[in-house]
Structure 1
Amino acid sequence: MGYKVSFEQANKIFDKLWDKYDIYAPKRFEGRGRYSDTDIVRYDKVNTVEEIVFDEKSDYPAKEVLAPISQTLFYFTEDEYRESKCSTRPILIFMRPCDINAMHHQEKIYLGNGGYTDLYYERMNERVKIVMMECTEGWDTCFCVSMGANKAEDYAVAVRCENGNLLVDIKDSELDAYFAEAPAADFKPDYIEKNEIELQIPEIPNREVLAKLKAHPMWEEYNKRCISCGSCTVACSTCTCFTTTDIIYHENGEAGERKRTTASCQIKGFADMAGGHTFRTTAAERMRYKVLHKFHDYKARFKDYHMCVGCGRCTSRCPEFISITATVNKMSKAIDEIMASENN
């Protein structure tokens, strides 16, 4: 069913929804941006439509709701442990199509990767109903069309913000009841069909080409450019890397809690192993690992899509202005060089 509601009407509906649901959406935090007197847009609970940022891409993705930057996994003593508690309230999340596709990519990592299911992600994921925010124009770092992530049909509700009103398309009958008194409207969401940036993802045909690509000198420039801060992966809508830390309570040295915290493959030391061995010692090696994971390894394993959804947040957040699309284009050129040398 389709409806048209004013912000005032929508806020009354929000009040009713809050009796059952927690509502998350991109929200502006004034003065908390990267630079002095700048804002940041990230996901948080919202109570009114006016709090939702419709006209900007959020600096950080919706994944922060399902996989918080820091969360307690369990508490322990010397002879037992207890899993951390979790709210049972359903969640409504306002998400753009790229973030919806990113959530599905994450599900393959957390829910059934090699037969293992992550309890902590699962218990959040199963509570979610998606409110898709129509996205028809994109921004200057977006390339979702190239990644096939510009559309999403598996939503409970879709919304368009237009002149102080919300146009709503409802697929979930449970949510339809909240709009029973709203005027009907003929609305189906539109999708962006062309980004400012277009990306041709190169195909790596075999292991030999992959090995030569890993050794290609194109990666060396990132030893000078990348500062290994990890901003790109924290802002990424599909990255799933984390580290765990045991916090021992000072009052009782045999009791504490284990926390999971978002981490980054781009930070020096992330790949360190016991015994002092490390896999990736330079910024170039870490950049190569990230890019190949997003644009080759994930698809090679799961046989469907590349991991990247083209949201462009990594480019927007990089303090050194490293463009992921420019990097992939350089990788494509390197593959062409390798293939040409093999044919000769």
Structure 2
Amino acid sequence: MGYELSNAKFDEILVELSKEYEILAPFKVKGGGRYSDTDNIKYKKVKTLNDIEYRQKSMFSAKEVVFPATETLFHIQNDEVIEPVHTSKKRLVFLRACDIHAMDRVDNIFLKNGLIEDPYYKKKRDEVSFVLMGCPKSFENCFCVSMGTNIAKEYSMGIDFREENVKVEIKDKSLAKYFESQNEIPFETSFVLENDTKVATPNPENIDPSFFNDEMWEDYAKRCIGCGRCNFSCPTCSCFTTTDISYDDNSEVGERRRVWAGCHVDKFTDMAGGHSFRNDYGSRMRYKTMHKVYDYKKKFGDHMCVGCGRCDDRCPEYISFANCINKVTEKTGKEVL
């Protein structure tokens, strides 16, 4: 089912939806960027169409909705463990096709990567429905078409933004009641069909472990500064560390937190006894790259990288991950699709 609505009418529907759902979408934080005169675009609660930043790519992905940067797993009070009160309100999340695919990758890590599902992740994930934001034109550094993530099918509602109106596609019957008074039109949400950046993916079966010592990684050892921006802006990076905290005013009370971590960040591989792996930045780049286009693919059948281009957008050293994948493919052989 498709509908065309004025922006004002869609705002009215958002008000009704917000009674049942928490609505999250890319939001422009004025002056919240790297410098005082630059903005940041991240996921926040929205109330109106005006709040949704659809003209630009968000600098951070929607993964924070289900995998927060900092999350309290439980509180400790003397000998008692108390889990935080969890809100049960459902969530509607506006995101693009590549990010819908990214959520599928993160689902695999937390829900299908062993015998036990991560209960903290699953609680949040079960409450989320996706609103697909149409992409009529590619953004800079995107290579979603090469990664096969430019088209998504698993979403509850699709939307194309215009200046004065929106076109909406409803796939989830539970959302249809909000639009039943509107006139139906034939409509399907738009997808990017071509990117300026092209990537040829490697065939994992052709990659020999000896490639891990290839000289190409030495270049990244000289250029990368280990800031971790690529990890934290990436929609599929899912590494974390856990920290137990005792409160200064009462050492019998504390909490356990889960906090984002990343393979490019110092101390990520530190172990007891002062041991540490991958101290040089080139080996960290190798580890990330092989995870995105080698071992994840062999285990789950899809490449972990979805081609959103955020890592290229955010790197202060202008290191291109798209170019890195192409280098791997040149040396090991192209994947046959």
TM range (shorter): over 0.9
Superposed counterparts of 1:14-29, under 5 Å: 14-29=14-29
Helix, strand or coil for the counterpart of 1:307?
coil
Helix, strand or coil for the counterpart of 2:3?
strand
Helix, strand or coil for the counterpart of 1:28?
strand
Corresponding residue for 2:165? 165
Q: Distance in 1 between matches of 2:124 and 2:114?
A: 20
Helix, strand or coil for the counterpart of 1:205?
helix
Q: Does 1:334 align with 2:336?
A: no
Query: Is the deviation greater in 245-254 or in 56-65?
Result: 245-254
Cα deviation, 1:215-268, whole Å, max 9, x if unaligned, reads 111101112110000000100000101111112112210110111111111012
Retained in 1: the 8 A contact 2:230–2:310? yes
Cα deviation, 1:81-100, whole Å, max 9, x if unaligned, reads 01122210000000100000
Corresponding residue for 1:129? 129
Retained in 1: the 8 A contact 2:143–2:309? yes
CA displacement at 1:42 relative to structure 2: 0.7
CA displacement at 1:333 relative to structure 2: 2.7
- Aligned positions, number: 333
AA aligned to 1:141 is N
Corresponding residue for 1:268? 266
Corresponding residue for 2:223? 225
Q: Does 1:39 align with 2:44?
A: no
Retained in 2: the 8 A contact 1:218–1:334? no
1:286 to 274, 284, 287: 284
Corresponding residue for 1:297? 295
Corresponding residue for 2:205? 205
Corresponding residue for 2:193? 193
Corresponding residue for 2:244? 246
Retained in 1: the 8 A contact 2:26–2:94? yes
AA aligned to 1:295 is V
Retained in 2: the 8 A contact 1:272–1:278? yes
CA displacement at 1:292 relative to structure 2: 0.6
Cα deviation, 1:189-235, whole Å, max 9, x if unaligned, reads 121111111111112435xx532211111101112110000000100
- Percentage of matched positions with identical amino acids: 43
Corresponding residue for 2:75? 75
Corresponding residue for 2:138? 138
Q: Which runs of 5+ in 1 are unaligned?
A: 337-344
Corresponding residue for 1:340? none
If the length of structure 2 is used for normalisation, what is the TM-score? 0.96
Q: Distance in 2 between matches of 1:10 and 1:237?
A: 28
State the 4+ residue runs in structure 1 displaced beyond 4 angstroms: none
User: Cα RMSD over matched residues?
Assistant: 1.2
AA aligned to 1:323 is S
Retained in 2: the 8 A contact 1:33–1:39? yes
2:253 to 249, 252, 255: 255
Helix, strand or coil for the counterpart of 2:13?
helix
CA displacement at 1:307 relative to structure 2: 0.2
If the length of structure 1 is used for normalisation, what is the TM-score? 0.94
